[in-house]
Structures are given as structure tokens and as C-alpha cells.
Structure 1
Amino acid sequence: MMSTTPHTFVSSTTFRVTGMTCEHCRRAVRQEIGRVPGVQRVDVDLATGSVTVHADRPVDRVDIAAAADAGGYALLP
């Protein structure tokens, strides 16, 4: 992650995630990131490789990256 990128966010933020190619990927990413405390909703767009995370309290980007990694995917900076 770039040093100028804020470490936490509230509301919604969109990330790029590599390795997603199918409906299974969509479910896995949604499920893993959805487990992060504070995350309310996860929208996955396979065509663009983007994941929009909606949070109701501050969420650390490191936790989102770790969740994507746990599902077998990589969050791009």
C-alpha cells in the first residue's frame, strides 16, 4: 500500500483485487472481507476486479488486505 494512502476508512472505499475470475471468487472475497469488524456490505465487480467495501465505523485497510489474502486473492495498492 502506498505511504500516502490513509490506513483507515469509514463509509465506502473501492479496492482493486487480483485473481478473481468467477462466481466462486466473488463469494469468497465477499465472505472473507465481510468478516472484518465494521464492514457492513461488500460489492464485487468481476469485470473490473474491483471490490467496494461499505463500513459503519473505521476499518483498517490492512485488515481488508489480510481478509482478501485469506481468501487467496491480493489487494492492489
Structure 2
Amino acid sequence: MKTTEFQVTGMICGHCELSIREEVREVHGVESVDVSYRTGKLVVTGSETIHDAAVIAAVQAAGYQWVRAA
């Protein structure tokens, strides 16, 4: 299992969390997604084959900005 933490900006509510969670869950190999608008953190757990670029693209598709891997 691989766990990666990302910092995301632009989230202001639970709906924002839901939007990101739904997009990131679609990334191949993702098994769990934990996201908090309060902290701006996104934690993704899954197979070793998850590419950070795919997670970042999913965050952007949801309408938010990736800042950096924490």
C-alpha cells in the first residue's frame, strides 16, 4: 500500500470535499480518499501504481488547485 498526502487550495465546505473525493476515487489504484477543507489536506491510499500526476489531474478536474505533496 502507498499513502500520499497532498495540499489543496480552494476548498471551503463539505461539498468541496465530496467533489474532490469523487474525482480522486476514479483514479486507477486508489482504494481510499480522505480530504478535509479545514486543513486543505488530501490523503490518498492505494496500490503502488498510483501516479501523483493522475491524482493532481483529478483534483484539477474537480475545480481545485493542488499546491504540493505534503
TM-score between both structures, scaled by the size of structure 2: 0.90
Higher strand residue share: 1
- Structure (1 or 2) with the larger CA radius of gyration: 1
Aligned to 1:39, which of 6, 30, 36?
A: 30
Runs ≥4 residues deviating over 4 A: none
**Residue segments in structure 2 that go unaligned for 5+ positions in a row:** none
Computed over aligned residues only, the root mean square deviation of the Cα atoms, in angstroms, reads 1.0
- Structure 1 residues not aligned, in runs of 5+: 1-9
- Give the TM-score, by structure 1 length: 0.82
Identical positions, percent: 37
Q: For residues 1-77 of structure 1, what are the structure 2 equivalents within 5 Å?
A: 11-77=2-68
Give the count of matched residue pairs: 68
